[in-house]
Amino acid sequence: MANDFSAAINEIMPLVADGDKSKPFIISRDSAYGDWQVCYPHPAKNAKIIFDCQKAHDPFAVMFTGSDFSKGSGFPYVYDAVLCNRLRVEYFATNFSYEDEERLPAFLSFFAENTGNFSHTVTAYLTTLERPLAALAEMCPFDMTTNHEGWNYNEVLAADAIELIENAVRDHLHINVDNPEPERQALGEYKELNRISVNQSDMILSENPDAEYRYMVIENRYTPYYNNLGNNNIFTGHTNDYLEAIDEFSERVQYNIRCFKSSWEAFAERDEEQDKQKSSPAKKHTLQEKLDNAKQKAAMNDAAKNNNRGDKPKTHDGRE
């Protein structure tokens, strides 16, 4: 039995490396003690029955095979993927309020795409909770839904939502930001292959042929929050798969480009609207419009006077 979530992920890493679809495994949490365990159904044909039994004790248990992950997937990727799947199961297995049912799908998309942007403090804390999705929704009351084409959630709010959750977890754990946790990973002996800076972030792809994991992807963010925190590193991932490293590096670059463009477009739209309001002259009525308005007012006044006297309206030839 694995004691914590990290131990459970370490236990399944050999199966992930094998990529064998014939060996299912179930990851569940003991609600009474908070311990994590990995169960290996045997024979495999009984996996569904055993899985249903496990879910009777942990309704958010998840089942995988090594083939559910890319061969060569590193520990951080598997850790985040299993955690996100548990949150999805919680969403479908829980009767949330109507308001939460409306906003949680977008919130789930936000968390799935940004899991690597959270500190290990946050993700480790979530693994200790009975209902991590409900806790996240309480920590971040933002409505992440959006009508923006091509977006699964409001990407403009992502950075603020991450900061809000980071602060909430640190407050709960009584962590002083003036004495931050050590940096998760430094470049060390890795050789930098590529670096792209955008949206106040540096994305770095590096390589060390002699390391356990040959490729490393890092994102350092330099917003005021992270500068004050004293730890600008928000993501470090390792893998032996070069294509996976390139894909992760490219995704982080594209994400920051989208955030920057969205912020810029929002500011541009606001400035354009303000310029229109300033430059739009007050509408001037033509002489004919003024005459027509005067005639209408006069006719209304005459009708009001006749009604007050009790007179019958007259025809055009003066007859009553």
Asked whether residue 94 is assigned to any structural domain, the reply reads yes
Q: Can you give the pLDDT at residue 137? A: 87
What pLDDT score was predicted for residue 214?
A: 87
What was the pLDDT predicted at 237?
86
Last residue of a domain, one of 173, 192, 207: 173
How many domains in the chain? 2
Looking at residue 101, what is its pLDDT?
Answer: 73
Rounded CA-CA distance 22/27 in Å is 16
Output the pLDDT for position 304.
56
- What's the pLDDT tens digit per position in 30-43? 887 788 999 999 88
In a domain, 289, yes or no: yes
In a domain, 219, yes or no: yes
Same domain, 198 and 164: no
Last residue of a domain, one of 173, 199, 227: 173
Of 173, 204, 227, the residue at which a domain comes to its end is 173
Q: Extract the tokens encoding 70.
A: 């890319």
Q: What's the pLDDT at 160?
A: 92
70 and 128 together in one domain: yes
Residue 179 placed within a domain: no
Residues 132 and 214 in one domain: no
At 161 the pLDDT is 93
The confidence score (pLDDT) of residue 70 equals 79
Q: Do 127 and 210 fall within a single domain?
A: no
- The dihedral region occupied by 103, where left means phi > 0, alpha psi between -120 and 50, and beta the remainder, is alpha
260 and 166 fall within a common domain: no
Distance CA 84, CA 278 (A): 48
Residue 165 domain-assigned (yes or no) = yes
- Is the separation of the CB atoms in 205 and 238 below 8 Å? no
Residue-wise pLDDT for 144-158, tens only, equals 898 888 889 999 999
- Do residues 66 and 161 both lie within one domain? yes
Task: Kindly state whether residues 237 and 109 are assigned to the same domain.
Answer: no
pLDDT at 299: 65
Q: Is residue 81 part of a domain?
A: yes
Question: Does 150 reside within a domain?
Answer: yes
pLDDT at 320: 45
Same domain, 145 and 232: no
Residues 167 and 274 in one domain: no
Q: Which domain holds residue 270?
A: 184-320
Q: Report the Cα 114 to chain-centroid distance in Å.
A: 6
**254 shares its domain with 195:** yes
Put simply, whether the predicted model's pTM sits higher than 0.95 gets the answer no
Q: What is the pLDDT of residue 179?
A: 52
Query: Residue 88's pLDDT is what?
Result: 93
Q: Give the pLDDT of residue 25.
A: 93
Averaged over successive runs of 10 residues, the pLDDT of the chain (320 residues) comes to: 80 87 90 87 87 89 91 84 94 77 87 91 92 91 87 91 92 67 52 89 89 88 78 85 88 85 66 60 58 66 55 44
Instruction: Look at residue 178 and tell me if it is in a domain.
Output: no
**Alpha-carbon distance 17 to 12, whole Å?**
9
The DSSP element (H or E) to which 6 belongs, if any, is: helix 5-18
Q: Are residues 133 and 230 in the same domain?
A: no
In the DSSP assignment, the letter for residue 116 is: G
Same-domain check for residues 94 and 189: no
